[in-house]
Structure 1
Amino acid sequence: MKGRIVVLGEVNGLEAAALMVDGQLEDLLIDASEAMTLAPGAICRGRVERQMKGQGGVFVKLPGGEKGFLREAKGLTPGQNVICQVTGGTEPGKALPVSLRLLFKGRYGIVTPGAPGLNVSRRIREEETREGLQALARVVMEGSEMGLILRSACEGAEDGEIVEDIAALRELAEAVTADTTGEPELLVDAPAPHEEAWREWADPVPDEVVEGFGDHGVLEALDALLSPRVALAGGGHMMIEPTRALIAVDVNTGNDTTPAASLKANIAAARDLPRQLRLRGLGGQVVVDFAPMPKKDRATLEQQLRVAFKDEAAETSLAGWTPLGNYELVRKRDRAVLSTLIGGQA
C-alpha cells in the first residue's frame, strides 16, 4: 500500500483516524472523551486556586471536577477566572496541563489571542504566494489584536475557503475570550478524530481517504503498539515500557554479533523512537538504554536522534547522556496514552 492514505473508522466503538504512509502507521487519533473529561485541545473557563510554591505554577479548578496545573502563574490571584486550554494528557489522579496561550485551529489558519502578528508557514516558500496570503490575513484580521498563523495547507487553496476558515476562527476566538464570567465551564470541546484528521493531515494532500481499519492494516499496527516489543530493521529490537516515573527504553541487537551490530540497532531505534512515542501517546521523561557501543559512536547516534525528532509536533528536549551511559530526553505529553483508550484490545 503505497502513498499517503487517511483511514477513517472506529476502534472498540471509539471514533478514530489513522494516517498510513507507504503501508506504515504514521499517526493515530482516537476519541478520548470516554477516558478523559477534558481531552487535549479543549478550551474552558477555569478558576485559579492555590499557588504551588516550588513548583512554579498554580492549580486551576476546571469543569467536571477536574484539576488543571498552570505554569503561567505570574500576576494571577486565587479566585480569578481564566480562559485556558488543555495541552496534553496525564496519568490518572494528576492535574491536567493547561495553558493561557490559546490556539484556535482550523484547516487553513490558527488564531492566537495571546500572540499578535500575522505569519505564514515557512513551508510556503514562493514569495508571491506568501504576499497574497499576508494580504488576505490583513483584511480578515483588520481591527483585531489577535495573531494569526496561515498554515501550509493554504498553498493551492481557494481564497474564499481560506477567508471563510479564518473569519470563523476569529469570531469563535473573540466570543470565547470574552466569556470570563461564571463557574468553570467547557467552552470549546476538543476536536473529534475525523475532524482533526481533516484539519491536521491536509498537507501534503492525502492520496486517498478511505473507511474501514480492517482492510488497511491499521488493526494489525494497533496490536503491535500494545506490545512493549518493537522489531527493528536488521534483526534487533527495543522494549518500550512506561513506569510511574519515566518511560524506559531498552535497545537490543538480537542475534547479530558483528562489531557494527550495536550501532546499526541503535540507529534503527533512534529513527523509529519518535513515531513509537507519538503513536503510543507516551511523554514525560524518557530514558534510553542503547546497546553497548564505543563512545566514539555517540556523536553519530546523537545526530540521528536530532534528525528523527526535528519535525515532531510535540515539544521534545534532547538532554543527552547520563554518567551511566543512558540517553535522556523529555517529550511533552500531548495526547492520551493509547493503552488507556483501547486497553488490551484493538
Structure 2
Amino acid sequence: MSEILINCALRERRIALIENGAMQEIFVERVCASGFVGNVYLGKVVRVLPGMQSAFVDIGLERTAFLHVADVETARLADGTTLPIEKVLHEGKHLMVQVAKDPIGTKGARLTTTISLAGRKLVYLPRDSHIGVSQRIESEERREALRAWVTSLRSPEEKGGYIVRTCAEEEATEEEFLNDMAYLSLLWSEVNKKAQTAKVPALLYKDLSLAQRVLRDMVHQETASIEVDNREVYESLCAFADRFVPSVRERLHLYEGDRPLFELYGVEEEIERALSRRVDLKSGGYLVFDQTEAMTTIDVNTGAFVGKRDFSDTVFKTNLEAAQAIAKQLRLRNLGGIIIVDFIDMQKSEHREAVLAELRRAVSTDRTRMTVSNFTDLGLVAMTRKRTRDSLAHVLCEPCPVCGGRGQIKTARTVCYDIMREIVRLSKQYVDMKEFRIQASQTVVDLLLEEESQALELLQTAVEKPVLLEVESSYNQEQWDVVLA
C-alpha cells in the first residue's frame, strides 16, 4: 500500500510518495520557480540554426527555448523523413508550441509543436488523428481492446486523436472516457481562441499545479490515502477531485496533528539523506554518488561489511543490496541522463547476472523511462534515465560559494606559494614599486607569519622590497590580492 503526503508552506508545496512505510519520491514546487512542462505558448522564432537543425523560440521565459526539427510537425513527411528546418521555419515566424522539458542548468526549455492535453484517462492530440495506448500497458489483447473502445466513442466530427493512459488499464468506464473527451475538446477550443488574439509571446495554457497533477496521475488502486496539512489546499483539491477524479475524493484527508506531517513520517530525514554524497546500506556497505553535468557516477563499497563466509559471498550480498538502494535513490534524487554504476568486482558470472537482474527488477517500477546495459569489461553498468526536470539537489541546493562546486579548495600552503610566485612576477614588471601588500584570509596570513616566515624573508630579499601582510576577513581561503605601493 502507498500513501501520498502533501506539505504546504506559504511559497512552497512538497509532495512525498510513501510505499510500504518508506519514502520513494519527493516533488517540490515553488511559487517563484514552478515548472513549465505541459504549458502551451504562442512563441516567435528568433533564430534558425541549419547546422544543428534546430531553432530558438521566444516564449516569454528568461532563456529562449529550443526546438529541434524532429519536434516540428510540419517538417515530418509521410515516408518518415523530415524537411530541413530552414524550409519550415524562419526568423519572426509565430507558432504554437508546448514545453516538453523544463529548463535545466544553462539550457533553455525543450519544445515541441505536437500539442497534447492530458485528462484523467486520455491524452488528447488535437493535431493528430492517431489513437494510441500507453506503452506501459503490456498486454497486446488489452491494448487492442482499449484502442477499439476509444475509437468507437470518438465523435465522427472529431479530427484529433487520443492516447489511452496507463491508469485506464485496470479501471475505466465509458462515462470517464466521454467526460475526458468533452473536457479536453472544450479546453483545446479555449486555447485556440486565446491564440487568435494573444500578443506574442503569450501563455495560452498552464498545466495543473503539482498537487492537482499528483491526484490526476499518481493515485491508483494501491493508494490508501492522501494527507494534506493545509485546509485551504485540502478544500481546493477536494473541489478538483469532485470534478475530475471523483474516485480519489474519499481518500483525501486533512491532517491536523500537532507534529509536522513530514516529520511524523520521517520524510525530512530522508530528504537530508538524499542530499548526501554517501548512502549507507544496512549491511555496513555504502554508496557514493557524484553528480556532474555530463553524468552521475555511483560507487559501491563493502565498508564495514565483512560477511560470515568467503569474500565473494560478501561482495555478492553487498551488490544485491546496492542494486535495490540505487533504484530507490534514482527516484528519490530524480537523477537523469547517463548513470554509471561501479559495482564491487565479482568473479562469478552467475553473481553478475543475479545483480543485474535485481537492478532491472528494482528499476522496473520507476515511472520514468530507463534503460540498463549489461556489465562492461571493466565491471561497470551504464544506465540512462529520462531527464524531464531538475534533480532534487539542483532544486534544493546551489554550488558552494567557496569551492564553486568542485568539492575541494586549495590548501593554505598552496595559496601562499601562488602569492609568492605572483610577487616575483610583479617585481620584474614593476621595478619602481616601493613595497608589496598581501591581502588574504586569516589562515593564509597566519601561515605566512609562522611556518612560512622564512620563505617570506627569502622572498623580500629576492624582490628587494618589503612585503606587508593584511587580513581580509571577508576573503575565503582561495581569495587574495597583491597591492602595489
Give the letter for the 1:238 counterpart. L
Cα gap change, 1:141 to 1:185, in 2 (>3 Å): farther
Query: Does the 8 A contact of 2:6 with 2:16 survive in 1?
Result: yes
Cα gap change, 1:64 to 1:311, in 2 (>3 Å): same
Unmatched 5+ residue regions in structure 1? none
Aligned to 2:186: 171
Give TM-score, length-normalised by structure 1.
0.83
Give the letter for the 1:198 counterpart. L
Give TM-score, length-normalised by structure 2.
0.61
Aligned mates of 2:110, 2:374 — CA distance in 1 = 25
Give the letter for the 1:48 counterpart. V
SS at match of 1:259: helix
1:332 aligns with 2:386: yes
SS at match of 2:32: coil
Query: Does the 8 A contact of 2:102 with 2:108 survive in 1?
Result: no
1:273 aligns with 2:326: yes
Unmatched 5+ residue regions in structure 2? 76-84, 229-260, 399-485
Aligned to 2:157: 143
The aligned runs of 1:234-253 (5 Å cut-off) are 234-253=283-302
User: Per-residue deviation at 1:158?
Assistant: 5.3
The root-mean-square deviation of aligned C-alpha atoms, in Å, is 3.3
The share of aligned pairs that are identical, in percent, is 25
Aligned to 1:200: 217
- CA deviations 1:218-268 (Å, max 9, x no partner) are 222222212122233433221222112221211112222331222322233
User: Per-residue deviation at 1:111?
Assistant: 1.3
- CA deviations 1:34-85 (Å, max 9, x no partner) are 235x533322222334344554533222222332222325443123333332
Aligned to 2:241: none
User: Per-residue deviation at 1:317?
Assistant: 3.3
Comparing both structures, which one devotes a greater share of its residues to helix?
A: 2
User: Per-residue deviation at 1:175?
Assistant: 4.1
Select which of 64, 67, 85 maps to 2:98. Answer: 85
User: Per-residue deviation at 1:207?
Assistant: 0.9
Query: Does the 8 A contact of 1:112 with 1:148 survive in 2?
Result: yes
Give the letter for the 1:15 counterpart. R
Of the two structures, which has the highest relative contact order with CA contacts closer than 8 Å and spacing of 6 or more? 1
Aligned mates of 1:25, 1:10 — CA distance in 2 = 18
- CA deviations 1:295-339 (Å, max 9, x no partner) are 724333333333333343323233555554432222221122223
Cα gap change, 1:279 to 1:45, in 2 (>3 Å): farther
Select which of 262, 266, 269 maps to 1:217. Answer: 266
Highest Rg: 1 or 2? 2
Corresponding residue pairs, total: 341
Query: Does the 8 A contact of 1:103 with 1:110 survive in 2?
Result: yes
Cα gap change, 1:313 to 1:100, in 2 (>3 Å): farther
Cα gap change, 1:173 to 1:316, in 2 (>3 Å): farther
SS at match of 2:263: helix
Aligned mates of 2:105, 2:147 — CA distance in 1 = 43
Aligned to 1:229: 278
Cα gap change, 1:12 to 1:291, in 2 (>3 Å): farther
Select which of 336, 357, 364 maps to 1:310. Answer: 364
Cα gap change, 1:168 to 1:215, in 2 (>3 Å): same
